[in-house]
Amino acid sequence: MTDRLETAANPEGLNRVVIEPLTRVEGHGKVTLLQDDDHHIHQVRLHIAEFRGFEKFIQGRPYWELPVLVQRLCGICPVSHHLAAAKATDALVGCEALTPTAEKIRRLMHYGQVLQSHALHFFHLSSPDLLFGFDDDIAHRNIFGVIEDYPEIARQGVLLRKFGQEVIRVTAGKRIHGTGAIPGGVNKPVSGEERDYLLADVRQMIEWGQQAVELTRRIFMESPDYHREFAGFDSNMLSLVAQDGAFELYHGGLRALDENGATLFDHADCQDYDRLLHEEVRSWSYMKFPFIVKAGQRDGWYRVGPLARVNNADYFPTPLAEQEAQSFRELDAGRPVQASLAYHWARMIELLYCAEAIGILLEDDDISGTELVRRGEMQHRGVGVIEAPRGTLFHHYEINDDGLVEKANLIVSTTHNNQAMNEAIRQVANRYLDGKELNEGLLNHIEVAIRAYDPCLSCATHALGKMPLEVRLVSSGGELVDRLVKSPAGEVAHGS
Amino acid sequence: MADKIRIATAPLAGCFGCHMSLLDIDERLLDLIEVAEFDCSPLNDFKRVGSADIGLIEGGVANTENVETLRDFRRHCRILVAVGACAVNGGIPAMRNQFDLRDCLEESYVNGIGVENPMIPNDPEIPLLLDKVHPIHEVVKIDYFLPGCPPSADSIWTFLTELIEGRPVSFPYTQIHYD
Ligand code: SF4
């Protein structure tokens, strides 16, 4: 845990290198590096360069709009925002516990969401790096290359994602930006017909989920030392856990462990999140830097998402995922796994869990129940927390007596990983780029490190326009020393 | 085989949902790449638009880089399409237009809950925000508008297949109703 490479001591004398936009991640970001004349790297930063201002412009809107409005932060994991906002509005309408039908339908929707998002991330976006190598030909290093070379893997990825999207459509009415969750419950049960439709595919999805775990495990274990070392560093981990410490995605208490697995806090009440976590602003990014207050601004940063959740959970409630999690935990003999690239493996264990959990819920008669909504006395403050595909997501709203929003605070999953992603690219830059002449394959190493976190830069304050990938070396005197340009056909050329 | 149709896609100030809806054509993606190939898109690592038959734009225009990208797409795409509410009319991000930009920034970085080191990020690496969020037709000429938030996968599919096959584009009612 170090500030190494965040800020160069004497930036004036250094050459600036830019990677922009980052691709095969959701949304946009860019990376800048500062190198000296011998190519030694002095500064590396991941910038999130767009701002949307949701926290302001939802002020004055009625609270019941929140679940459908705020999900427009992100079209990749809209259900996470839909449900986190719905949970916050449950608190606003004084609903202390959902009806069993409402809770199970929301869980079904959520598991469908995590499954589709994980499938998208692994198969459509990241698998090309892992199957073809980080410096594979740029024209080939994408999902269309996977379709060509590994049609069966690509087909499974497409169909896994489709299944998750269909679970969402059935429970939310629409695949993207649905309307299923409302303050205090849900607006429709699952019919017998819908249930049979989804049940028909569950077994196949579980089987493909197992194969996906096996694939990521095998890739990692092919060169475990390299995969541990690449963008590897120690950090704290934060996630929700169930009351008994089980893996949990929808509702629970907050658990934070340090890099050795020692407890920082456990089963903390989500309503107190603002006393546990603060966010630091830095001038060079629209994405804030959260930290655990107790551990301090410097050492209190942490990771969230699949790696943190699999590390933090005592066990998985479904048998096949638990079996896989056990072998995952053996990787570092019980110490929390710290490798950035192990995110992919952990992500597929979660995908398998979701497939199993969807199967269990579809067999549960409660999902066809008719008691859908509960309400109590109106409240002024509501906090909703959920484990989104990319990690813990916080929505906090305050409303006035007329039910209009007065204040809002959102901490999205990707933001928690801000410091971690910066650490990851600094480690990679230091190890693989330092002292070298740049080329496209080397630069992709930086993006591979970022992709492991599956950042949703849409969520994280969101997207920028596209710029050419152009890497410029500018001397301290402001003179252009070298220029690398990636052409539309993917060739990288030196030019001036 | 005849040359494939080249499709380029870009997300501006949107939520990526329109791109996700394109992927929601599911297995038809495998059919699509029989007749089409992708120029620059967030799905591959081409960072800049080369030359495309169809350019699909998601999102409105919220900062100076959105403007550059959009102009670049207009220059290099034969047919340019506004996909989804944000591109068509600014969508939800344009809700910030009723507020002062400074107030929006201060709400997040100065007056926010649990904020340490309050300041508005101002590094030169961060592009300039526009005062207001604009629909893309205010910046360049647009050939087709595909409404919806997002447009459904079926309507995107109908649109692409009719366009590629050279027919006038028309939708059954079920594909264009909103929510
Ligand atoms: S139109 Fe809707 S789905 Fe498309 S980018 Fe805008 S908010 Fe997202």
Interface touch B47/A486, C-beta < 8 Å: yes
Over residues A183-235, the pLDDT tens digits come to 999 999 999 999 999 999 999 999 999 999 999 999 999 999 999 999 989 99
pLDDT at A31: 85
Helix or strand run (H / E) with residue A397: strand A391-399
Q: Which of the two residues, A270 and A138, has the higher pLDDT score?
A: A270
How many angstroms is it from A356 CA to the middle of ligand 1? 31
Q: Report, as an integer, the average pLDDT of B157-175.
A: 91
User: In which region does residue A395 sit, left (phi positive, over 0), alpha (psi from -120 to 50) or beta (all else)?
Assistant: beta
B121 contact residues in A (CB cutoff 8 A): 281-286
Whether residue A50 is predicted with pLDDT greater than 80 in this model: the reply is: no
Q: Is B146 in the pocket of ligand 1 (CB under 6 A)?
A: no
A155 contact residues in B (CB cutoff 8 A): 27, 30
pLDDT at A3: 54
Would you say residue B29 lies in a domain?
yes
Would you say residue B79 lies in a domain?
yes
Q: Which of the two residues, A343 and A42, has the higher pLDDT score?
A: A343
Nearest Cα neighbor of A249 from A373, A113, A416 is A113
pLDDT at B48: 79
A17 CB-near residues (< 8 Å, 6+ apart) = A32, A33, A34, A35, A438, A471, A472, A473
Interatomic CA distance for residues A260 and A337, integer angstroms = 9
Contact A400, A379 (CB under 8 A): no
Residue with tokens 């102009």: B71
Q: Tell which atom from ligand 1 comes closest to the C-alpha of B16.
A: 5
Nearest Cα neighbor of A118 from A416, A460, A456, A463 is A456
Reported as a pLDDT band with limits 50, 70 and 90, residue B96 is very high
Q: Which of the two residues, A475 and A85, has the higher pLDDT score?
A: A85
Interatomic CA distance for residues A309 and A292, integer angstroms = 17
Whether residue A148 is predicted with pLDDT greater than 80 in this model: the reply is: yes
pLDDT at A432: 86
Reported as a pLDDT band with limits 50, 70 and 90, residue A435 is confident
Interface touch A56/B96, C-beta < 8 Å: yes
Q: Which of the two residues, A201 and A480, has the higher pLDDT score?
A: A201
Interatomic CA distance for residues A463 and B99, integer angstroms = 20
Q: Is B82 in the pocket of ligand 1 (CB under 6 A)?
A: no
Q: Which of the two residues, A409 and A482, has the higher pLDDT score?
A: A409
Nearest CA in chain A to B24: A162
Interface touch A444/B45, C-beta < 8 Å: yes
Q: Is B135 in the pocket of ligand 1 (CB under 6 A)?
A: no
Q: Tell which atom from ligand 1 comes closest to the C-alpha of B86.
A: 6
pLDDT at B90: 96
Interface touch B67/A27, C-beta < 8 Å: no
Whether residue A489 is predicted with pLDDT greater than 50 in this model: the reply is: no
How many angstroms is it from A158 CA to the middle of ligand 1? 22
How many angstroms is it from A451 CA to the middle of ligand 1? 23
Over residues B5-44, the pLDDT tens digits come to 999 999 999 999 999 999 999 999 999 989 999 988 888 8
Reported as a pLDDT band with limits 50, 70 and 90, residue B2 is low
Q: Is B85 in the pocket of ligand 1 (CB under 6 A)?
A: yes
Would you say residue B118 lies in a domain?
no
Over residues A302-358, the pLDDT tens digits come to 999 999 999 999 999 999 999 999 999 999 998 999 999 999 999 999 999 999 999
Over residues A254-279, the pLDDT tens digits come to 999 999 999 999 999 999 999 999 99
Nearest CA to ligand 1 atom 7: A72
Nearest CA in chain A to B92: A72
Q: Is B11 in the pocket of ligand 1 (CB under 6 A)?
A: no
Reported as a pLDDT band with limits 50, 70 and 90, residue A83 is very high
CB burial readout A265-295, b (16+ within 10 A) else e:
beebebeebbebbbbbbbebbbbbbbbbeeb
Contact A379, A401 (CB under 8 A): no
Residue with tokens 């698998």: A127
Strand partners, A201: none
Residue B63, phi then psi, degrees to nearest 5: -150, 175
How many angstroms is it from A2 CA to the middle of ligand 1? 38
Reported as a pLDDT band with limits 50, 70 and 90, residue A468 is very low
Contact A367, A105 (CB under 8 A): yes
The contacts found for A319-324 with CB under 8 angstroms, 24 or more apart, are: A319/A356, A320/A206, A320/A209, A320/A210, A320/A352, A320/A356, A321/A247, A321/A349, A321/A350, A321/A352, A321/A353, A321/A356, A324/A210, A324/A213, A324/A217, A324/A349, A324/A352
Q: Which member of B16, B67, B113 has the closest CB to residue A26?
A: B16
Would you say residue B110 lies in a domain?
no
Contact B179, B47 (CB under 8 A): no
From the number of C-beta atoms within 10 Å of its C-beta (0-12, 13-18, 19+), residue A8 rates as middle
Q: Tell which atom from ligand 1 comes closest to the C-alpha of B59.
A: 5
A365 vs chain B: nearest CA distance in angstroms? Answer: 28
Interatomic CA distance for residues A450 and B45, integer angstroms = 14
Q: What are the structure tokens assigned to B61, written together?
A: 């225009």
Over residues A98-129, the pLDDT tens digits come to 999 999 999 999 999 999 999 999 999 889 98
Provide the strand spans (E) within A85-242: 181-182, 185-186, 236-241
Nearest CA in chain B to A292: B114
pLDDT at A27: 62
**Which has the minimum average pLDDT: A39-53, A165-179, A354-368, A458-472?**
A458-472
A103 vs chain B: nearest CA distance in angstroms? Answer: 24
Q: How many CA atoms lie within 13 A of A249 on its CB side?
A: 30
Would you say residue B125 lies in a domain?
no
Q: Where is mean pLDDT largest: A390-399, A423-432, A478-487?
A: A390-399
Interface touch B121/A285, C-beta < 8 Å: yes
B9, B12, B18, B22, best to mutate for ligand 1 pocket (most atoms within 8 Å of CB): B18
Radius of gyration from C-alpha coordinates of chain B: 18
Whether residue A24 is predicted with pLDDT greater than 90 in this model: the reply is: no
User: In which region does residue A345 sit, left (phi positive, over 0), alpha (psi from -120 to 50) or beta (all else)?
Assistant: alpha
pLDDT at A37: 84
Interface touch A467/B48, C-beta < 8 Å: yes
Would you say residue B111 lies in a domain?
no
**Which residue segment(s) compose the domain that B66 sits in?**
5-93+134-176
B118 contact residues in A (CB cutoff 8 A): 281
User: In which region does residue A249 sit, left (phi positive, over 0), alpha (psi from -120 to 50) or beta (all else)?
Assistant: alpha
Asked if ipTM goes beyond 0.90, one says: yes
A324 CB-near residues (< 8 Å, 6+ apart) = A210, A213, A217, A349, A352
pLDDT at A338: 96
Number of domains making up chain B: 1
* Domains assigned to chain A: 4-50+422-494 (no CATH), 54-415 (1.10.645.10)
Reported as a pLDDT band with limits 50, 70 and 90, residue A376 is very high
Q: Is A75 in the pocket of ligand 1 (CB under 6 A)?
A: yes
Residue A268, phi then psi, degrees to nearest 5: -70, 145
Sign of the four-CA dihedral A229, A230, A234, A237: negative
Interface test with B, best of A56, A65, A270, A459 (most B CBs within 10 A): A56
pLDDT at A2: 40
- Whichever domain contains B32, its CATH number is 3.40.50.700
pLDDT at A28: 65
Residue A203 amino acid letter: R
pLDDT at A464: 24
Q: Report chain A's mean pLDDT, rounded to a whole number.
A: 88
Q: Which of the two residues, A275 and A54, has the higher pLDDT score?
A: A275
Interatomic CA distance for residues A392 and A80, integer angstroms = 10
CA angle A12, A15, A18 (to 5 degrees): 120
CA angle B104, B109, B112 (to 5 degrees): 90
Whether residue A486 is predicted with pLDDT greater than 60 in this model: the reply is: no
Would you say residue B51 lies in a domain?
yes
pLDDT at A49: 65
Would you say residue B115 lies in a domain?
no
Whether residue A390 is predicted with pLDDT greater than 80 in this model: the reply is: yes
Q: Which member of B44, B107, B127 has the closest CB to residue A23?
A: B44
Q: Which member of B24, B51, B95 has the closest CB to residue A165?
A: B24
Reported as a pLDDT band with limits 50, 70 and 90, residue A13 is confident
pLDDT at A437: 76
Q: Is A52 in the pocket of ligand 1 (CB under 6 A)?
A: no
Interface touch B15/A281, C-beta < 8 Å: no
How many angstroms is it from B18 CA to the middle of ligand 1? 6
Whether residue B1 is predicted with pLDDT greater than 70 in this model: the reply is: no
DSSP track, A80-123: HHHHHHHHHHHHHTT--S--HHHHHHHHHHHHHHHHHHHHIIII
Q: Which member of B20, B48, B101 has the closest CB to residue A176?
A: B20
